[in-house]
């Protein structure tokens, strides 16, 4: 899939495919160097991290194991509330293991800080984070990201694993959507990217 397949839905390409691939290769080299001689378990967060996980693991020289978790954070559709539910847990016992969580994006940081707390309680030998994209809001949550692909502005992005309403994940680049895509969805414009905690009850979940 490329830009021509989404036509007028696309507003702009923010990070082209070649820049994504080059940066992922750099991250892989850093991780290889940092974990040389140790057994590493990559934990991808479904579904958004599928693309970076696949490319990162293929660029790495170290043998790694891969496992997956699916979590859902509840908020007003596009806003994270910090209430996280495990939809799919790890198959692996991580106690005593070196674990690197691989995630597509950290926005408010609520999802990842919950996940770090959850996995830390299972007593891994080490636990670090690798995130493709980081938005400014993450600074407020004090999530310590060891490997960051790109710092981006506070706007809603899709592609390379990231979705809007489950679409656009298979674009090879990261981009923004035209306002008409959000029209008629109750979102007047692009989903609000800087969520504040909400107190409402359970609403349609947003899969991380
Ligand atoms: P957080 O808890 O606010 O950090 O939200 C994390 C999750 O929200 C990510 O794992 C994504 O699934 C989703 N998310 C946040 N920002 C975006 C975006 O710009 N595009 C697509 N999904 C996003
Ligand atoms: Mg995600």
SS3 assignment, position 141: helix
Centre of ligand 2 to C-alpha 48, Å, is 4
Protein residue with least CA distance to atom 8, ligand 1: 208
- Between the alpha carbon of residue 171 and those of residues 3, 28, 70, 77, 143, the distances in Å are 7, 21, 21, 22, 28
Q: In testing the pocket of ligand 1, which one of 81, 105, 163 has its CB within 8 Å of the most ligand atoms? A: 105
Q: Which residues pair with 175 in a beta bridge?
A: 13, 158
Please state, in angstroms and rounded to a whole number, the distance separating the CA atoms of residues 181 and 198: 25
Mutate to test the pocket of ligand 1, among 75, 132, 159, 162 (most ligand atoms within 8 A of CB): 162
36-66 residue pLDDT tens: 999 999 999 999 999 999 999 999 999 999 9
Closest-CA residue to 7 (of 155, 175, 133, 152):
175
CA 106 / ligand 1 centre spacing (Å): 6
Among residues 159, 161, 172, 160, the alpha carbon closest in space to that of 9 is found at 159
Q: How confident is the model at residue 205 (pLDDT cuts 50, 70, 90)?
A: very low
**CB of 208 shorter than 6 A to ligand 1:** yes
Residue range 120-170, pLDDT digits in tens: 999 999 999 999 999 987 667 778 999 999 999 999 999 999 999 999 999
Is 70 exceeded by the pLDDT of residue 188? no
**What pLDDT is stored for residue 80 in this prediction?**
61
pTM (2 d.p.): 0.88
In the predicted structure, residue 77 carries a pLDDT above the cut 60: no
What is the number of other CB atoms lying within 10 angstroms of the CB of residue 93? 10
pLDDT (0 to 100) of residue 65: 98
Q: Let me know: does 189 contact 156? Beta carbons within 8 Å.
A: no
Integer Cα distance of 130 and 203 in angstroms: 28
Range name among 9-13, 40-44, 196-200 with the lowest pLDDT average: 196-200
CA dist 104 and 11 (Å) reads 20
Distance from C-alpha of 7 to C-alpha of 34, rounded to nearest angstrom: 41
Residue 192 and residue 57 in contact, taking contact as beta carbons nearer than 8 Å: no
The residue annotated as part of the active site, out of 107, 142, 144, 163, is 107
Q: Which residues pair with 41 in a beta bridge?
A: 65, 99
Residue 189 or 28, more confident: 28
* Atom 3 of ligand 1: nearest residue by CA position: 108
């Amino acid at each position: 899939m490329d830009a021509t397949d989404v036509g007028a839905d696309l507003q702009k390409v923010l990070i082209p495919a070649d820049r994504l691939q080059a940066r992922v290769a750099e991250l892989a080299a850093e991780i290889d160097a940092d974990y040389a001689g140790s057994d590493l378990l990559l934990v991808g967060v479904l579904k958004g991290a599928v693309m970076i996980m696949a490319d990162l693991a293929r660029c790495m020289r170290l043998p790694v194991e891969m496992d997956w978790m699916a979590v859902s954070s509840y908020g007003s559709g596009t806003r994270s509330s910090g209430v996280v539910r495990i939809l799919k847990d790890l198959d692996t016992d991580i106690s005593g293991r070196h674990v690197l969580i691989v995630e597509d994006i950290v926005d408010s940081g609520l999802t990842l800080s919950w996940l770090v707390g959850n996995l830390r309680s299972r007593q891994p030998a080490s636990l670090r984070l690798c995130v493709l994209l980081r938005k400014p809001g993450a600074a407020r949550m004090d999530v310590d990201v060891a490997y960051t692909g790109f710092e981006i502005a506070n706007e809603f992005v899709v592609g390379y694993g990231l979705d809007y309403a489950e679409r656009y994940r298979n674009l090879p680049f990261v981009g923004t959507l035209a306002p008409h895509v959000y029209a008629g969805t109750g979102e007047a414009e692009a989903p609000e990217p800087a969520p504040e905690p909400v107190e409402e009850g359970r609403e349609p979940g947003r899969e991380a």
